[in-house]
Amino acid sequence: MILADQLVKRFTGRTAVHEVSFTVERGEVLGFLGPNGAGKSTTMRMIAGCLEPDAGRALVDGHDSALDRQAAQSRLGYLPEGAPAYPAMSARGYVRFHLRARGFSGEALTHACETALKRANLGAAADKPIGALSKGYKRRAALAAAIAHDPPVLILDEPTDGLDPNQKDGVRALINEMAPKKAIIISTHLLEEVDAICSRAIVIAGGRLLADDTPHALARLGDDDTIGSAFRTLTRPAGEAISERAGSGRT
């Protein structure tokens, strides 16, 4: 359902993503792990069609995100980092805007909107301006918009960031509920999230793919068989290299 094939993205003076390849099939939840600035969001943006790769390709349900963008994007639900939304709009208005842009109208639009608001557990907050909502509710409003058209592919950039433990559990339960019918990528800094919801995980640092395996197999790469230690083992060399470069730059 999702294919990243040798994706490369360069920004002025640096390569943010270097020949990253992976696939995600229907029924899989792929955890995307990596330190800040590793290239997670850039990779997700290329799959979502917000950025074009400098080399390689990203396919969503068989459609190239850069060359057949509209077909790819109509099969995709994307929650960008920070869950941006229009602050003056209500969550309901925001979800309806997304559905209308995807060709929904009349009864189908209303039904899809109400279902998404219910699944994202917006409750009475659905009719308040998004700008007046708490961070957790804002994120849920953006999540409702991303899932409203029931896309086969979901890309969620840090969907539980800033949520309280109960809200995190709610979002994880929602992802688990949707997982059997969709291909889902979530990026996260929360390593316990990988155990809780991901069927597979990849680790990326310095724009390069370092590992791609099940959470259980990934954990074995660490010193004490946990995802956390595996993450540190895999990403420490990149971090240390950055520190060393910064140190040598100062002297």
Chain residues binding another protein by CB under 8 A are 9, 45, 48-54, 66-67, 69-71, 73-74, 76, 78, 80, 82, 84-89, 93, 97-98, 100-103, 129, 145
Nearest distance from C-beta of residue 227 to another protein, angstroms? 28
Shorter beta-carbon distance to another protein: residue 105 or 248: 105
Nearest distance from C-beta of residue 185 to another protein, angstroms? 13
The b-or-e profile of 89-102 (16+ CB within 10 A means b, else e) is: bbbbbbbbbbbeee
Nearest distance from C-beta of residue 104 to another protein, angstroms? 8
Shorter beta-carbon distance to another protein: residue 93 or 152: 93
Shorter beta-carbon distance to another protein: residue 109 or 230: 109
Tokens of residue 87, six digits:
């602050």
Q: Are strands 183-187 and 29-33 parallel, antiparallel or unpaired?
A: parallel
C-alpha to C-alpha distance for 200 and 204, rounded to whole angstroms: 13
Nearest distance from C-beta of residue 62 to another protein, angstroms? 15
Nearest distance from C-beta of residue 16 to another protein, angstroms? 10
**Phi/psi zone of residue 206: left (φ > 0), alpha (ψ -120 to 50 degrees), beta?**
left
What is the edge-to-edge ordering of all strands in the sheet holding 14-24? 14-24, 2-11, 55-60, 63-64
**DSSP assignment letter at 90:** B
Shorter beta-carbon distance to another protein: residue 71 or 221: 71
Shorter beta-carbon distance to another protein: residue 52 or 212: 52
Greatest Cα-to-Cα distance within the chain, rounded to the nearest angstrom: 66
